[in-house]
Amino acid sequence: MKTIAIIATGGTIAGVGKDGKTVVYHAGEIDVNDILESIPQINEVAHLKTFQLYNVDSNEMDEEKWMGLSNMINSLVLEEDIDGIVVTHGTDCIEETSYYLTLTLNTNKPVVLTGAMRPATATSADGPFNLYQAVSLASNDSAYGKGVMVLFSNTIYSGRDVQKINNFKVDAFGQKTFGCLGYMQDEVPYFFSDTFKKHTIHSIFAGNYNSLPKVGVALFYAGASADILYHLAQSNEGIVIVGAGSGNYNEKWKEAIEDLSKKGTIFVRSSRVQEGIVFDDEVFDPHHYCISSNTLSGQKARVLLMLALKKTKDRDQIRQIFAQY
């Protein structure tokens, strides 16, 4: 059997609440080994090594914890007896962690994130089955070289494109209009598509980090003041605009973006619309000060911009990075 390292970070999968209830619980309370005791059949899938790195609600995940998790995985995959990695994680911010790992892990070994929508104390908790399938996926030869994946509710998603689309159903994730990578039937994965964006060993960002540039996110809404941008620019090297429609905003924001860009702030345009693509725009950004996020959400565009700014401050070079990742 393969040997899989399980790195626990907390989340609902380790949550505790009133017996049987699915709401009003505290995430990140149970040790990963206690969860594994409820799924003894998992020991027929792989040899397991467990690491309780964090035990927090995923809203407590931040850049420091991303770096700690990524650096730990980059160390573990160097061990010959580790065949794959599973990370247990809260669902609220799993899409940001998965994208950070997609960009920074230096391995072809399978890395799978999973979690739960129901706490461990709920009736029909979904965490144990998700964890069982995540270990099964990480143990399967077909998962090699697929990049970072998220396994949830029988479905395999790419770490780049996965997003939370529901806050109460157990089938809580989607991947925009691209579809998923594949599906699980019990312990067997079936892949139907692949990701063509650069990731893991093909990423220029693959490696360990101990600091990241600061990047803020500004949500545009009807009547939003441009003061928001000036305030963010005081403490951030870059700003991701989460605009309306195709990443759009009003004239005051446009003027502020042009002014701040001339002073060195790097801007990325994304959209608050759940599905769609943000391209360059001659009307809202006639001088091409902004970098288009393409299909990345605002929160994922922030992850890429932080890493891009670690490499270069040149706007045109960052534009090329966004086209590739």
In the chain, where are the structural domains located?
A: 3-202, 215-324
Tell me, what's the pLDDT at 141? Answer: 96
Tell me, what's the pLDDT at 211? Answer: 97
Q: Per-residue pLDDT tens for 7-23?
A: 999 999 998 888 877 67
12, 97, 102, 265: which is the annotated catalytic residue? 12
Instruction: For residue 12, indicate whether it is catalytic.
Output: yes
Angle at 164 between CA 101 and CA 322, to 5 degrees: 50
The 10 Å Cβ neighbour count of residue 48 is 18
Third-level CATH fold of 3-202:
Rossmann fold (3.40.50)
Tell me, what's the pLDDT at 124? Answer: 83
Residue 24 has pLDDT above 80, yes or no: no
3-202 shares its CATH topology with 215-324: yes
Q: Are 267 and 289 in contact (CB under 8 A)?
A: yes
Confidence class for position 48, pLDDT limits 50, 70, 90? very high
Each residue of 165-195: b (16+ CB within 10 Å) or e?
eeeeebebbbbeeeebbbebeebebebeeeb
Tell me, what's the pLDDT at 215? Answer: 98
The contacts of residue 101 (CB under 8 Å, 6+ apart) are 66, 69, 70, 73, 87, 111, 113, 148, 159
Q: Per-residue pLDDT tens for 120-149?
A: 888 788 999 999 999 999 999 999 999 999
Q: Per-residue pLDDT tens for 223-281?
A: 999 999 999 999 999 999 999 999 999 999 999 999 999 999 999 999 999 888 999 99
Residue 39 has pLDDT above 80, yes or no: yes
Tell me, what's the pLDDT at 178? Answer: 78
CATH of 215-324, one of 3.40.50.40, 3.90.1150.10, 3.40.50.720, 3.90.850.10: 3.40.50.40
CA-based nearest residue to 138, from 107, 161, 169, 165: 107
